Homo-oligomer: A and B are copies of this chain.
Amino acid sequence: MKQNPESLTIMDQTHAQAEFTEADRKGIYKAIFNRRDVRGQFTSEPVDDDVLSRILYAAHHAPSVGYMQPSNFLVVKSDEVKRRIHSAFVEAHEEAKAMFSDEKRELYSSLKLEGILESPINICITCDRGRTGPTVIDRTQLKAMDLYSSVCCTEFLVGCSG
Contact yes or no, A137 B108, CB < 8 A: yes
Checking B17, B27, B104, B141 against A20 with a beta-carbon cut-off of 8 angstroms, the contacting residue is B27
> Which A1-37 residues have C-beta < 8 A from chain B?
10-11, 13-18, 20-21, 23-35, 37
A39-51 CB mask vs B (1 if < 8 Å, else 0) is 0000000000000
A152 CB–B CB distance under 8 Å? yes
Q: Number of contacting residues on A, CB 8 A?
A: 53
Q: Judge if A128 is at the interface, Cβ distance under 8 Å.
A: no
**Interface presence of A113 (CB below 8 A):** yes
Which chain B residues lie closer than 8 Å to A113 at the CB level?
Answer: 137-138
A35 to chain B, nearest CB (A): 7
Q: Is the CB of A16 within 8 A of B34?
A: yes
Contact of A32 among B16, B33, B61 (CB under 8 A): B61
